[in-house]
Structure formats: structure tokens, C-alpha cells
Amino acid sequence: MDLMKLSKELSYALRHAPWEYELELDEEGWVEISQLLVALHESPYWKEVTQADLEQMIQASEKKRHEIRSGRIRALYGHSTPHKISKISAEPPETLYHGTPARAVHSIMEHGLQPRQRQYVHLSADIDTANQVGRRRDDQPVILKINAAQAATDGILFYHGNENIWLADHIPARYILEQ
Ligand code: HQG
């Protein structure tokens, strides 16, 4: 079983296009594993996939992208579906980071960090993760430092993605510093 391929397929289904699998995400992004498996089994490539494979995929991944609880599964972040997944806000660490290609910095410092194609802006608790995120688009990404404590004090809401990833609706430029 190609667990990376399975993870990508699940991210596509649970973040971006559940309707292609005849799935409907609930308010928090959950779907029944049994329904997901029925959908996957329609494709010849995934006809043998089991819940144990899904569990192993989550276990083996270097990033915690998906979560299983009480017979259901969801993506923890990254959504682009039209109906915004509801998240419970939480107190962020004092500083958060965002890695971005150099070409985006001017616009970010003007308009703030926007979710763009996704439902939320994605931030990292550590610089390493921000670097990896930024390197998807630029060999030498710029790491932006977010004054999350001050933003939270001023009423900006932050939400948990996983242990490294934090989400926000929008980060105004006044809380962003170029590293
Ligand atoms: C940029 C992956 C111009 C932003 C990653 C980013 C992450 C602006 C791009 C997760 C802007 C959006 C999300 C503005 C934001 N002007 N550019 N005002 N505001 N941007 O992919 O954070 O591996 O939607 O800097 O690791 O790169 O798939 O967001 O470059 O955790 O699990 O617009 O996706 O996770 O790009 O990545 P994205 P992201 P997985």
C-alpha cells in the first residue's frame, strides 16, 4: 500500500472535493470512515484499502494531516471547500511563523496574510516548519514572524490545526514582521 499516495487522495477528498466521493463533511470536517471506504473501493486502485491502512497512514506520516475518532475521519487543516469548517479558537503561542515565496512579501505587507484558496491562513509554531512550507514555492523562502500574542489580545482569533500548525481567518500586516 502506497501510504503517501493514500494520504494525498484523502487530503483531496477531505480538504478539497468531498462531493467527488459522494461525501459530505459535517461542520467540523468529519466523515464516516465506512462511507469513505465505500467511495475509495469504487476505484480499482483502492479496492483493498481498509481502516487499518488509514490508521497506518496517519501513524506513518511525518505531518499530522488527518485524524480518526469514533469511526470518523477528518483533515485537520488545509480545507478549500465552500462551507467553512468550524474550529474552536485557542490561545496561540506568543510568536507564530509563516514561510512564503519572496515574490509574495510585498503584497502580504500591504494586505496582510490572506487565506487565498483555502479557508484559513496557515501558520507554524516553529521556524523549521515555516521554512518547509515556504520551500514548496521558493528555494529561499522568506520567514514572516507573527506577533500572535498581540493579535490575540486585539481580538484576532487563532485555531489549532495540529501541534505545529495554527490557523487564522486573516492576519493584518501590523502583526507581521519580516525575519
Ligand atoms: C500567500 C501545506 C500574496 C501565502 C503546507 C502562501 C501548509 C499571499 C499562498 C498548508 C497573501 C497560499 C498551507 C497576500 C497569503 N498576497 N500572497 N496578501 N496572503 N499569501 O498553499 O500556507 O503539506 O494556500 O504566503 O505545509 O503555503 O498539504 O498556503 O504562499 O501547512 O499538509 O499565498 O499546506 O500542508 O498558499 O500552505 P497555500 P500555505 P500539506
Q: Point out the ligand 1 atom lying closest to the alpha carbon of residue 117.
A: 24
Show Cβ contacts of residue 16 under 8 Å, excluding neighbours closer than 6 positions. 79, 80, 81
For residue 95, what pLDDT is reported? Answer: 98
Pairwise CA distance, residues 48 & 1, whole Å:
9
The verdict on the CB of residue 63 being under 6 Å from ligand 1 is: yes
Q: Point out the ligand 1 atom lying closest to the alpha carbon of residue 118.
A: 24
Cα dist. 76→46, 143, 162, 179 in Å? 22, 23, 7, 27
For residue 84, what pLDDT is reported? Answer: 97
Domain 3-75 has CATH 1.10.10.970: yes
Q: Residue with the nearest Cα to atom 7 of ligand 1? A: 133
Q: Residue with the nearest Cα to atom 3 of ligand 1? A: 104
Using the mean position of ligand 1's atoms as its centre, give its distance from the Cα of residue 154 in Å: 24
Q: Which fold has domain 95-178?
A: ADP-ribosylation fold (3.20.170)
Relative orientation angle of helices 33-41 and 51-60, to the nearest 10 degrees: 100
Q: Where are the domains of the chain?
A: 3-75, 95-178
Pairwise CA distance, residues 105 & 100, whole Å:
7
For residue 66, what pLDDT is reported? Answer: 98
For residue 179, what pLDDT is reported? Answer: 76
The verdict on the CB of residue 16 being under 6 Å from ligand 1 is: no
- Sort 56 into a burial class: Cβ within 10 Å, 0-12 / 13-18 / 19+: middle
Tell me the ipTM for this assembly.
0.98
Q: Point out the ligand 1 atom lying closest to the alpha carbon of residue 121.
A: 22
Relative orientation angle of helices 3-11 and 51-60, to the nearest 10 degrees: 100
Q: What is the pLDDT along the chain (179 residues), one digit of tens a residue?
A: 899 999 999 999 999 999 999 999 999 999 999 999 999 999 999 999 999 999 999 999 999 999 999 999 999 999 999 999 999 999 999 999 999 999 999 999 999 999 999 999 999 999 999 999 999 999 999 999 999 999 999 999 999 999 999 999 999 999 999 97
Q: Point out the ligand 1 atom lying closest to the alpha carbon of residue 112.
A: 18
The verdict on the CB of residue 116 being under 6 Å from ligand 1 is: yes
